C-alpha cells in the first residue's frame, strides 16, 4: 500500500528578505535559490529521495528513507551555509496531496511564510517500515519533443508547448488522483502518485492530448524510495520509446 | 528604441546523455542542471544580463552588455567544468520573440539538439551601441500571494494557482506583443518586452485575472541592460505595493 | 581502541586532463577542484565523516560511518556531475598513517594516477562495529593569531608563519605518532590521531614552538565518527581559550 | 615595468562566527569556504585575474583588469548569497609583497579581522593603464611527482614532500624577491613575481632542491593580466617538460 512521505521545505521570510534593505540583484537571488535546491537535491537524493524545485522558495520532496535526524541535519547545514534558513513540515499518506496537506499545515501553524518571528520550524511524523510499494513514481515526457519542437520552433514557443502540456497534466493528476506532478526540465515531468492503473495513466495522457494538444508518454515504477521507484520508471519510459507505446509499467 | 539581445544556451546532446549508458540518477541531473544555471546566472548577471532557467537544457538570456568575447569565455569555462557542453546562438531585435527566433535558428542550423556531432556551436550578431531604452523589463507578481495562497493552501495547490497564472501570462505576452515571460520563483514572473504602454500592461493583467483568476500587478523599467531595467522594474513594483496600484513604470 | 577508517579519493588521470588539448584556464581548474571538494565535504560530512582537501587532486577522508554502498554512491554521483572521475581506496587501522598506506596502495595497484586506463577504481575494507573511541581528532589553532599576525602583518607574511607552523606540525605528528594533520583554513589544523596522551600532545605543541616559533594550542576529542570526535575537540579547544591552557581533552 | 594589482579578500569576523552560538559543523565550514573561493575564482578569473585560497578566510588575488566597480559588485554579490561578508583592500606595486602590504594595511585600518563592527570595508587604488609586462607569473611544478611520489608513497607522505618543497619556496621567493607563491593543488605552485631573470628563478629552484630535496621546474610568462601571463607560463612549463629543462620563459 502506498505510503508517500512528503516534506515541504519553505525558506523563512524570503519575500521580505529579497527586498531588504532594497531589492537585491535578481541574478544573485536566482543563483542562491538554484544552488540551495541543488544542495537539497544532493542531500535528499543521496538518501533515496527526490526533491522538486517547485517555486524555489517552497520546495516539495519525497522523503521516504529520510528520518527525523536526517531532516534536522539538513536544516542545520542550510543554516550554516546560506543567508537564509528553511522550515520543514513532513506528512505521510497513501495519497500524495494529502501528505502534502499535512506537511504544509504544520509549517503554516508555526507562522506565516513572511513572518520574521518564524525560523527553522520543524514538525512532522515519519514513515517507519519501508515496503516495496510505498512510493509510486510516474515519469512523463513529450513524444519526439526534439523533432516536433526543439529543432523547429524558437525556444520560447517550444517552451510554451511543453508548459501548456505540463499545466494541463499537473491539474488533472491533482484533481483526478491526488498525484503531484513536477516539471523537471527538458520535456520531462515526474509525478508522485497513489497506486494507479495503466488505464488511469492512459486517461491522463489522453486528457493532455485533448486539452493541450501535447502527446505525452509515461513510464511507471514503484519502490521503497523515490529513487528506486524513479529509476524503474525511467526504464519503463525507455520501454515506451523502444516499443512505441504510451504507458509502460516497470 | 528597444534592441533586445537574446542568447539561447542549449546543452549539447543532453537527452541522450542522461540515459547513457543507462538512465542516470535524477537528483544528479537536477543538481547538475541547476548548478549550471546558477553559474550562468553569475556570469551573465555580473555583466548586467539576465538568464532564465526556462527548460534547464535550453536557457534564454538577455545579454545586452555581453559581447562575443564574453560568450566565448562562458562557453569555454562551462566546457572546462561540466560533463556537458553548451551551444550558443545570439540575436538582436526590437521584439524579443524575434531576437530569440534568430538565436534559436542559428543553433538549429548547426545541428540537432540531440546530435552527437554538434558541440559548442556558436553563432550570432551583437548589439553594439548601448542606449538607455534598449531593454524593457516587466516584473510581475501575484497580489497577496502569501495571504491568499501560501499561508492557506497546501503548497501544490498554491503552485497550481501560480502556475496557471503564469501559463496564461506567458501565452498572452507572447501572442499579443512578442514579449517573453519567465517564472523566476515564488510568485514572480519577469518578462523581456518591446516598448509597451501602461494600457497594454493593464491588458495583460486583466487577461490573466479573467482567464486564470489570478490577480497580478506589474512594475516596468527600462535601461541599457536587463539588470538596470530590472532593478527599476523592481522599484516600480514596490511602488505598486505601497500605492495599491496594478501597473507602475519606473 | 582506535580504528580509523581512511579513504583516499584520487581524481583519475587529472594531470594530463588539465593540459589537454592545451593548458586549461587556471581559475576553471581551481573552481572545479574546490567545488568537487565541497561536494565531498557535504556528502561525507552529512554521514559523520571528515574530508580534507590535501592536494585537491588527492583528498584524504576519515570515513568511519560510511560503508561500501555510500562510497559507491559518491563515486557514481561525481561521475554524473563532473568532467572527471575519482578512484577510491579504503583502509582501517589503529594508526591513521597505516590506514592511509593501505588505502593508497589499493588505488596504486589499480593503475597510475596518470593512466588513462584507470577509471573509477574502488577497493577497500570497512570498519563494521562502531565504538566510541574509534576516532581521535585533535583540533589545533594558533594562539592569538589575529592579534599577533592577521591584524599586524601583510597577509602573506601571516600566511608564512601559519604555514611554517603547519609544516612543522604535520611532519612531527606523522613521524612521532603516525597521525595525519591537515590545514583547514585560518589558523586551524585538524589531525586524525591514534590514542595519544596529553603529554604527547604537549610534546607536539612544544616541538612546533621550538622549530617554527609558532605557539599552538590543541583540543582533543574522540568518538565513533570524525564529526563526533571533532565537535568534542572543538569544545575542548574553546576550553583552552577560556582557561588559557595549551592542551585540553573533551 | 611590473605593476601588480593585488586584492586582499578577508571574511569579516569569521573566527567568532564559526563558534557562535557554538562550534559549527566543520564540514559545513569547509563547504562554505571552498565554495566562496570557487565563486571568487570564477568572478575574478573571468576578468583575467587569479585568486588564491591562501587561508580561505583571507584570500589573495591578482586583480589587474578589475576596477573599482568590479570589486564593488563582487562584494555586493557575496553579501547577497553567503552568510558572511567580505572586506577588500587593493594595492599596486612593482613588487607583489609591497602591493599586498598596502592592500592588507587598508583592511587592517578599517578594523580587526575579528571585529563585529567592521563589515564590507573597501579601500584601495587601481592600476589604470594596462601594459604587457604588468604581471609576471611563474608556474612551478615538481619533476615527475607522479613517478616519484604519488604512485609510490602513501598520499600523506607524498603530501609532506610537496608541502616541504612549497614551504621552502614560498619563504625564499618572499625574502629574496618579494614574490608571492601559492600552492594550487597537485604538485603545482603559482607565484606572482617582480621582473626576475632566468638566473634568479634558477636560484629559487636550486634553493628548494638543497633545502627540501624537492626538484622543481618553472615556466614563466608575463602579460597585462594574471590569466594572460599565467597561460604563457603554463606553455613555458610544457616546454620544460618536453625539453627536460628547469627554467623556461614564454
The answer as to whether A213 is a domain residue is yes
Predicted local confidence at residue C227, as pLDDT: 98
The answer as to whether C18 is a domain residue is yes
Tens of pLDDT, residue by residue over A169-226, are 999 999 999 999 999 999 999 999 999 999 999 999 999 999 999 999 999 999 999 9
Q: Single out the residue in C124, C154, C181 at which a domain terminates.
A: C124
Segment B65-92 shows an average pLDDT of 98
Under an 8 Å CB criterion, which residues of C touch B?
24-25, 28-29, 31-32, 35, 76-77, 80-83
In chain D, the percentage of residues whose pLDDT exceeds 70 is 100
B148 and B214 together in one domain = yes
Predicted local confidence at residue B169, as pLDDT: 98
Confidence of residue C239 (pLDDT cuts 50, 70, 90): very high
A15 has a pLDDT exceeding 80: yes
**DSSP symbol at A42:** H
Paired with D5 in beta bridges are D92
All residues of chain A having their beta carbon less than 8 Å from the beta carbon of residue B28 are 45
Q: How far apart are CA A75 and CA A81, in angstroms?
A: 10
Confidence of residue B244 (pLDDT cuts 50, 70, 90): very high
Q: How far apart are CA D137 and CA D91, in angstroms?
A: 17
B183 has a pLDDT exceeding 80: yes
Confidence of residue A167 (pLDDT cuts 50, 70, 90): very high
Tens of pLDDT, residue by residue over C40-96, are 999 999 999 999 999 999 999 999 999 999 999 999 999 999 999 999 999 999 999
B2 has a pLDDT exceeding 90: no
C39 and C143 together in one domain = no
Q: Measure A5 CA to nearest chain B CA, in Å.
A: 15
Q: Take residue B182 and report the three cell numbers written for it.
A: 519567465
Tens of pLDDT, residue by residue over D5-45, are 999 999 999 999 999 999 999 999 999 999 999 999 999 99
End-to-end CA distance of chain C: 17
Tens of pLDDT, residue by residue over A37-79, are 999 999 999 999 999 999 999 999 999 999 999 999 999 999 9
* CB distance A104 to B151 below 8 Å: no
Domain count, chain D: 2
**Average pLDDT along chain A:** 97
Segment D78-90 shows an average pLDDT of 98
Contact C186 D160 (CB under 8 A): no
**DSSP symbol at D249:** E
Q: Of B223, B25, B18, B34, which is closest to residue B139 (Cα–Cα)?
A: B223
* CB distance B36 to B82 below 8 Å: yes
Predicted local confidence at residue C75, as pLDDT: 98
Q: Of D39, C187, D164, which is closest to residue B35 (Cα–Cα)?
A: D39
Predicted local confidence at residue C128, as pLDDT: 87
Which ranges of B111-150 would DSSP assign to H, the alpha helix?
145
- CA B161 vs. chain centroid, Å, equals 20
**DSSP symbol at A150:** I
Confidence of residue B145 (pLDDT cuts 50, 70, 90): very high
Q: Single out the residue in D124, D146, D176 at which a domain terminates.
A: D124
C226 has a pLDDT exceeding 90: yes
Integer CA distances (angstroms), B16 to A246, B114, B116, B235, D18, in order: 19, 7, 9, 43, 44
User: Phi/psi of residue D55, each to 5°?
Assistant: -105, 10
Q: Measure A77 CA to nearest chain C CA, in Å.
A: 9
Q: Which chains touch B (3 or more CB pairs under 8 A)?
A: A, C, D
Segment D53-59 shows an average pLDDT of 98
D52 has a pLDDT exceeding 90: yes
Predicted local confidence at residue C62, as pLDDT: 98
The answer as to whether A46 is a domain residue is yes
Q: Which of C10, C19, C26 to mutate to test the interface with D (most CBs of D within 10 A)?
A: C26
- DSSP letter for each residue of B10-75: EETTHHHHHTSSSPPPHHHHHHHHHHHHHHHHHHHHTTT-EEE-TTSSEEEEE-TT--HHHHHHHH
Q: How far apart are CA A53 and CA B38, in angstroms?
A: 14
**DSSP symbol at B90:** E
Predicted local confidence at residue B161, as pLDDT: 97
| Secondary-structure percent of chain D, ordered helix, strand, coil, rounded to 5 | 45, 25, 30
B110 has a pLDDT exceeding 90: yes
Q: How far apart are CA A21 and CA C188, in angstroms?
A: 35
Predicted local confidence at residue D204, as pLDDT: 98
Q: Of C8, C222, C2, C4, which is closest to residue C96 (Cα–Cα)?
A: C4
Q: How far apart are CA A233 and CA A220, in angstroms?
A: 4
Paired with B86 in beta bridges are B11
Nearest to D80 among A25, A77, A81 (CB): A25
Contact A57 B185 (CB under 8 A): yes
Confidence of residue A248 (pLDDT cuts 50, 70, 90): very high
Predicted local confidence at residue D129, as pLDDT: 85
Tens of pLDDT, residue by residue over D117-172, are 999 999 999 998 888 889 999 999 999 999 999 999 999 999 999 999 999 999 99
Tens of pLDDT, residue by residue over C109-155, are 999 999 999 999 999 999 988 888 899 999 999 999 999 999 999 99
D112 and D177 together in one domain = no
Predicted local confidence at residue D2, as pLDDT: 83
A69 and A17 together in one domain = yes
The answer as to whether B129 is a domain residue is no
Q: Single out the residue in B95, B124, B153 at which a domain terminates.
A: B124
A140 and A119 together in one domain = no
Tens of pLDDT, residue by residue over D205-245, are 999 999 999 999 999 999 999 999 999 999 999 999 999 99
Q: Which of B19, B83, B119, B120 to mutate to test the interface with C (most CBs of C within 10 A)?
A: B83
**Sheet strands (E) in chain C:** 4-11, 50-52, 58-62, 86-93, 122-124, 135-142, 180-185, 188-193, 216-223, 247-249
Residue of D nearest to B48 (CA): D73
Residue with the larger pLDDT of the pair D246 and B130 = D246
For the domain that residue C222 is a member of, what is the CATH number?
Answer: 3.30.70.270
Q: Which chains touch A (3 or more CB pairs under 8 A)?
A: B, C, D
The answer as to whether C129 is a domain residue is no
The answer as to whether A16 is a domain residue is yes
**Average pLDDT along chain C:** 97
Predicted local confidence at residue D78, as pLDDT: 98
D95 and D176 together in one domain = no
A2 has a pLDDT exceeding 90: no
Q: Measure A140 CA to nearest chain B CA, in Å.
A: 13
Predicted local confidence at residue B128, as pLDDT: 87
C149 and C109 together in one domain = no
Contact D155 C54 (CB under 8 A): yes
Confidence of residue C1 (pLDDT cuts 50, 70, 90): confident
All residues of chain D having their beta carbon less than 8 Å from the beta carbon of residue B231 are none
In chain B, the percentage of residues whose pLDDT exceeds 70 is 100
A92 has a pLDDT exceeding 80: yes
Segment C186-210 shows an average pLDDT of 98
Q: How far apart are CA D26 and CA C49, in angstroms?
A: 10
B1 has a pLDDT exceeding 80: no
B84 has a pLDDT exceeding 90: yes
* CB distance A120 to A107 below 8 Å: no
The answer as to whether A129 is a domain residue is no
All residues of chain D having their beta carbon less than 8 Å from the beta carbon of residue C45 are 25-28, 30-31
Predicted local confidence at residue C129, as pLDDT: 85
* CB distance B169 to B218 below 8 Å: no
The answer as to whether D130 is a domain residue is no
D118 and D144 together in one domain = no
Segment C205-225 shows an average pLDDT of 98
Containing domain of residue A243, as a range? 135-249
C233 and C157 together in one domain = yes
Q: Which chains touch D (3 or more CB pairs under 8 A)?
A: A, B, C
C81 and C43 together in one domain = yes
For the domain that residue B73 is a member of, what is the CATH number?
Answer: 3.30.70.1230
Contact C30 D14 (CB under 8 A): no
Contact B104 A23 (CB under 8 A): no
D1 has a pLDDT exceeding 80: no
Q: Which of C46, C67, C72 to mutate to test the interface with A (most CBs of A within 10 A)?
A: C46
A100 and A61 together in one domain = yes
**Using H for helix, E for strand and C for coil, what is the string for D191-247?**
EEECCCCHHHHHHHHHHHHHHHCCCEEEEEEEECCHHHHHHHHHHHHHHHHHHCCCE
B103 and B204 together in one domain = no
Q: Measure B90 CA to nearest chain D CA, in Å.
A: 20
Amino acid at each position: 500500500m502506498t505510503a508517500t512521505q512528503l516534506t515541504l521545505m519553505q525558506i523563512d521570510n524570503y519575500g521580505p528578505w529579497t527586498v531588504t534593505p532594497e531589492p537585491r540583484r535578481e541574478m544573485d537571488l536566482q543563483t542562491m535559490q538554484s544552488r540551495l535546491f541543488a544542495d537539497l537535491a544532493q542531500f535528499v537524493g543521496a538518501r533515496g529521495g527526490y526533491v522538486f524545485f517547485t517555486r524555489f522558495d517552497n520546495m516539495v520532496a519525497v522523503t521516504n528513507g529520510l528520518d527525523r535526524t536526517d531532516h534536522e541535519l539538513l536544516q542545520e547545514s542550510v543554516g550554516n551555509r546560506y543567508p537564509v534558513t528553511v522550515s520543514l513540515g513532513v506528512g505521510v499518506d497513501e495519497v500524495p496531496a494529502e501528505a502534502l496537506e499535512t506537511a504544509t499545515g504544520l509549517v503554516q501553524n508555526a507562522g506565516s511564510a513572511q513572518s520574521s518571528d518564524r525560523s527553522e520550524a520543524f514538525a512532522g511524523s515519519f514513515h517507519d517500515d519501508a515496503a516495496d510499494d510505498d512510493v509510486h513514481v510516474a515519469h512523463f515526457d513529450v513524444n519526439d519533443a526534439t523533432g516536433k519542437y526543439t529543432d523547429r520552433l524558437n525556444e520560447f514557443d517550444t517552451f510554451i508547448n511543453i508548459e501548456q502540456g505540463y499545466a494541463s497534466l499537473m491539474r488533472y493528476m491533482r484533481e483526478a488522483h491526488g498525484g503531484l506532478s513536477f516539471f523537471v526540465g527538458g520535456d520531462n515531468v515526474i509525478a508522485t502518485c497513489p497506486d494507479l492503473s495503466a488505464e488511469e495513466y492512459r486517461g491522463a495522457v489522453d486528457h493532455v492530448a485533448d486539452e493541450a494538444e501535447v502527446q505525452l508518454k509515461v513510464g511507471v515504477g514503484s519502490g521503497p524510495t523515490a529513487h528506486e521507484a524513479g529509476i524503474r520508471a525511467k526504464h519503463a519510459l525507455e520501454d515506451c520509446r523502444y516499443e512505441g507505446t504510451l504507458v509502460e509499467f516497470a
